[in-house]
């Protein structure tokens, strides 16, 4: 209580001619249970009206607000200042297109990733509004849900060494998405199709397995488990 916090924030407006990327410092009196959502809004409203950042749900659910907080990619809305030192450095996530200051274009990247992986159920079946739903056991549903929980925040990509040097890498979020559909019995894609999608350098072979992604994922997705499942699958497919 009673701390004065110093925020050192990366500033750059790409729509402004001749703007230079730089760091600007802002001071703020700490309040009890202050999180970075409130802190950044206070800074914007009182000191820097043009400061750009993204929040939507402010509840750790929508994945909008990932940024580098003292060097670590994580969700700003659920980061409390009380867990941070007096000086807080904020940078935009690397890898993604910078829109300005702390705002990056994760949306466009994730849409492209989804299109590339054809992130939808591939099925020949037509929906029949008269019929009862197809059955699924609850364990399978939960397993799919465990991967479906990804909020597309981009933290795993920002923390991934491969992604920084190899921009076509689909990243942990992409691999996890593959896992989500591999687990799903409704998806009729065959081994061959999966194999072509996954067993590339953009896919599972690009991953060096140091699991930085697992360490930073704010939703604690079971990435380790998903990757080893994919590896086993790919090996089995290759053997066939």
Partner 1 sequence: MRVITSDVLIIGAGLAGERTAIACAKEGLDTMILSLVPSRRSHSSAAQGGMQASLGNSVMGKGDNPTVHWLDTVKGSDWGCDQEVARIFADNAPIAMREMAHFGVPWNRVKGGKQQVFIKGKKATIEEDHATEGLITARAFGGTAKWRTCYTADGTGHTVLYTMDNMVLQLGIPVHDRMEALRLIHHDSRCIGAVVRSLRDGELRAYIAKATVIATGGYGRIYGESTNAVINEGSGSWLALQTGIVPLGNMEAVQVHPTGIVPTDILVTEGCRGDGGLLLDVDEYRFMPDYEPEKMELASRDVVSRRMKEHILKGKGVQSDYGEHLWLDLRHLGERHLTTKLREVYDICMYFIGVNPITELVPVRPTQHYSMGGIRVNKDGQAYNLKGLFALGEAACWDMHGFNRLGGNSLAETVVAGMIVGKQVAKYSKKAELNIEVTLAEETAHIERQKIDKLVNGTGKENVYQLRDEIGRLLTKYVHIFRTGEGLQTATAELKKIVARTGDVKVRTSAPGMNPELSIALRIEGMAKQAYVIAKGALDRTESRGAHFREDYPARNDANWLNRTLVRWPVAAEEPQFEYEPVGLLDLPPGDRGYGGGQMIAMEISIADYNRKVDSEQSVKGRLEPSEPTGAKLPKEAWRAELEGKE
If contact means CB under 5 to 8 A according to the sort of partner, which of ligand FES, partner 1, ligand SF4, none does residue 231 touch? none
> What is the C-alpha separation between 226 and 178, in angstroms, rounded?
9
4-11 and 87-91 beta bridge pairing = parallel
If contact means CB under 5 to 8 A according to the sort of partner, which of ligand FES, partner 1, ligand SF4, none does residue 106 touch? partner 1
If contact means CB under 5 to 8 A according to the sort of partner, which of ligand SF4, ligand FES, partner 1, none does residue 119 touch? partner 1
Nearer to partner 1, 173 or 198 (CB): 173
x/- letters, 178..217, toward ligand SF4 (CB under 6 A) = -----------------------------xxxxxxx---x
> What is the C-alpha separation between 219 and 184, in angstroms, rounded?
20
Nearer to partner 1, 57 or 238 (CB): 57
φ and ψ of 48, to 5 deg: -135, 80
Structural tokens at position 188: 């009729």
> What is the C-alpha separation between 80 and 111, in angstroms, rounded?
30
- Using an 8 Å Cβ cutoff, are 34 and 48 in contact? no
Establish if 125 lies at the interface with partner 1 (CB under 8 A).
yes
Helix, strand, coil: what percent of the chain each, to 5?
A: 40, 15, 50
Least distance from C-beta 101 to ligand SF4, angstroms?
21
Q: Which stretch binds ligand FES (CB under 6 A): 14-22, 60-68, 155-163, 193-201?
A: 60-68
């Amino acid at each position: 209580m009673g701390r004065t916090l110093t925020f050192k924030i990366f500033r750059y407006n790409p729509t402004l001619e001749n703007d230079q990327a730089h760091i600007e410092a802002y001071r703020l009196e700490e309040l009890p249970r202050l999180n970075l959502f409130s802190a950044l809004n206070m800074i914007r409203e009182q000191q820097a009206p043009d400061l750009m950042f993204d929040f939507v749900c402010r509840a750790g659910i929508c994945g909008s607000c990932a940024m580098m907080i003292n060097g670590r990619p994580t969700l700003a809305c659920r980061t409390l200042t009380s867990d941070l030192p007096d000086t807080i450095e904020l940078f935009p996530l690397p890898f993604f297109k910078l829109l300005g200051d702390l705002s990056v274009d994760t949306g466009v990247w994730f849409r492209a990733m989804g299109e590339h992986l054809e992130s939808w159920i591939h099925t020949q079946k037509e929906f029949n509004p008269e019929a009862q739903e197809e059955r699924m056991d609850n364990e399978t549903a939960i397993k799919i849900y465990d991967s479906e929980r990804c909020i597309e925040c981009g933290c795993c990509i920002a923390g991934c060494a491969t992604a920084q040097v190899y921009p076509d890498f689909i990243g942990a979020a992409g691999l996890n998405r593959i896992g989500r559909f591999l687990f799903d019995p409704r998806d009729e894609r065959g081994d061959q199709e999966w194999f072509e999608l996954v067993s590339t350098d953009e896919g599972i072979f690009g991953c060096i397995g140091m699991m930085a992604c697992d360490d930073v994922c704010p939703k604690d997705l079971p990435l380790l488990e998903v990757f080893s499942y994919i590896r086993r699958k790919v090996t089995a497919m290759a053997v066939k």
